[in-house]
Structure 1
Amino acid sequence: MALNLAILAPTHRPSAKEQQLNVVVRLWKDTIFLNPVGLAAGYDKDATAITPLMGMGFGFVEVGSVCLKAQPGNPSPRMFRLSEDEAIINRYGFNSKGADVVEESLKEYRRSLNLLESKKDTTEWWEQIYNFLWPGQQQIGLLGINLGKNKTSTTPLEDYQKLIHQLGPYADYLVINVSSPNTPGLRDLQNTTSLEGLLRGCQEACQELAEKQGGKQQPAPPLLVKLSPDLTDSELKDIAGVLIKLDIDGIILTNTTTARPTSLISLNKGETGGLSGQPLKDRSTECIRLLYRYTEGKIPIIGVGGISSGKDAYEKLRAGASLVQVYSGMIYNGPGMVSKIRDEVAELMLQNGQRDLQKDVIGIDHDDLFWKKPQQQQQQQYNITER
């Protein structure tokens, strides 16, 4: 039997600090993230590296963006390091092998998981080995699938619906990407009229998928939307109204930005494309803070943009993110940063007397809001000193 043991190594290997805390995040009634740190879309576009990525300690991995049909994306060079700024500019343009190829990768990943469960549950010797290697661990990270629009498509809703039906069965959650700056016309789908129609149609596709798979026994995968940091505060407020109306399952904040801060000093700062990394951090966090307030904390937020330390992640969690994702930080710091971020978040929680991530940290910056629980309505200064 040929089986990559990395798939068996559970994502949640708590450090000594994490073992003193509850860092589990429960969303959408029964979806459990064993830790809040995930990998953003763009790193594994075609779902070819899920196995090793899950072994790095992520609570969840998001693959994609996946397009319905294969497309090459923009010509190279299309990714540029801004090392002095700890940033990246990319103009990939949704390079994708297409849904059919990605589905085969997802099937292979699913077969690996099923093989693990069958061996662990039915073979005594295998269970003994499993428990010896990973005592007390039972679950690996969750899988998100980010869906994108083909460059030449004139029927985005139909494309997204087909993608939902084809790839939804493999996902713990789905993301509708309407915010990449590298696909012409894609960001136009963020205007409230277009966005409402698009997301409503995608929700219908999710419901159809659930009914086809067995209804209540197999609920529809949660549907999230990924937004741009270049939206104005007023536009974000209008979009929040649409998302509340639709009862959307979640928001990812944010995608890359076309803005170029005057603070950039790297030679590649003038390249066309979306900017990610440290220069995006503050705007991303501000978008999280605004959407959390605009939605009164009713819609889960995944925060992404400029996270390279536990302090960065902790700030986004306090601002209202239920989970966080990394991308540029992984490219600059490597896989060791995952456990580093988790450990630093745990240390900050311990320093501030916080024991439960979901109850004590998420949205704590908004304790002045009227809809927060009375026992939480207190002003506190938390220690988030630089590590």
Structure 2
Amino acid sequence: MDKKIFNGKRLKNARLYRGLTLTELANRTDISKQSISLYENEKNVPEHQRVQKLSAELNIPYDFFFQKDSFETITDVTYFRSLASATKLDRTAQSIKLDFVAKMYEVLYEYIDFPVLNIPNVEFDGIDDECDDQGLEETRSQIEEISIKVRELWGLGDNPIKNLQFTLEKNGIIVTGFSTEEDKIDAFSQRTIIGNQDMFFIALSLGTRPEGRINFDMAHELGHILLHPWSENLELITKEEFKAREKQANMFASAFLLPKTSFAKDIQAYPTDLKYYQFLKKKWKVSIQAMAYRSHQLGIISDNQFQYMMRQISKNGWRTKEPGDFPHKLNDNIFQGAINLLIKEEIVDPKKLLQVFKKHGITLYRQDIEDLLHLKEGTLFFEEEKPKIIQLKRPYDESGGSE
């Protein structure tokens, strides 16, 4: 039998998962910051009562802190669509969540034949220098070609994409959503190596974001997956390099969602009429602002026309909320489909699945697992059977005696 040994790394992951600093956790538990640091770095072992206190405050099961990971996942880098207010702690918390998702994917992979990753091999050497007009034009041309290549591989033609989430999942890219503070993190993508296999995950901020912006977020993250390196520390690149990559991902999202030939044909009827853009928004499932940006990018409208339209958008208050914007929910994702299938085919029930996750070191409460996998609330709920302490007497024969 394996000996129960406190795992300090798991305490650190649990703290970061909840988005807490050492000081915040210390204040909440009345355990000194120095002590918690020693526990996390495995220089000291907490007493049983302290583990209970940490477990309760972090809302993580007690057993979690005494387990090792059955599966080893390696994460190289995470691309965040973060605004200035997103701290390193915010980003780390979301990255750890995706690590949990990756581990649960690997558990489910033992039962489910998931779609394999199907993305084209592309060569992209985008220019970062804003002053290099020729280089920037070559970059735009490369991105246009790559967007066409993806559409051809995925059989999308040049039509609007009806369900981008399904399209990504069908081609082996996992989409999930987390409840995050939307003013800090819009979306992010991560490559995780499971065994020798590359897996890409896209996580979206859930809340009030409308369909058009969520579609652009997904396409933006697909741009990072296809265009940019996944083996370097983003903390080491310059702000200018990071901004250039964000701009390139935006270019890709525009080209991918609004193909040059078909979108240009649509928009040329009334290229500066915002009412017309409002009409086309229903067809193309992207924002008015994104369509205006694309029209300018394609040279359909001039610099002055684009700037005037953006001033009108600001004047109308459409920067934050456009006509027809409603909070958009993700469709049932691939995890919901996988677990529904396992339950329907009676391979596992919710109780058994939670036990399987625990066996592999994923000991979290049901609600956390449902949130991480973006499942419907109650998907993994089960009622504990109460032990039977009474039973019926054996039937009596007509004479009153027992059989």
The TM tier, using the shorter chain, reads under 0.3
Identify the structure with the greater strand proportion: 1
Greater C-alpha radius of gyration: 2
TM-score scaled to structure 1, two decimals? Answer: 0.24
Q: Could you tell me the TM-score, scaled by structure 2's length?
A: 0.24
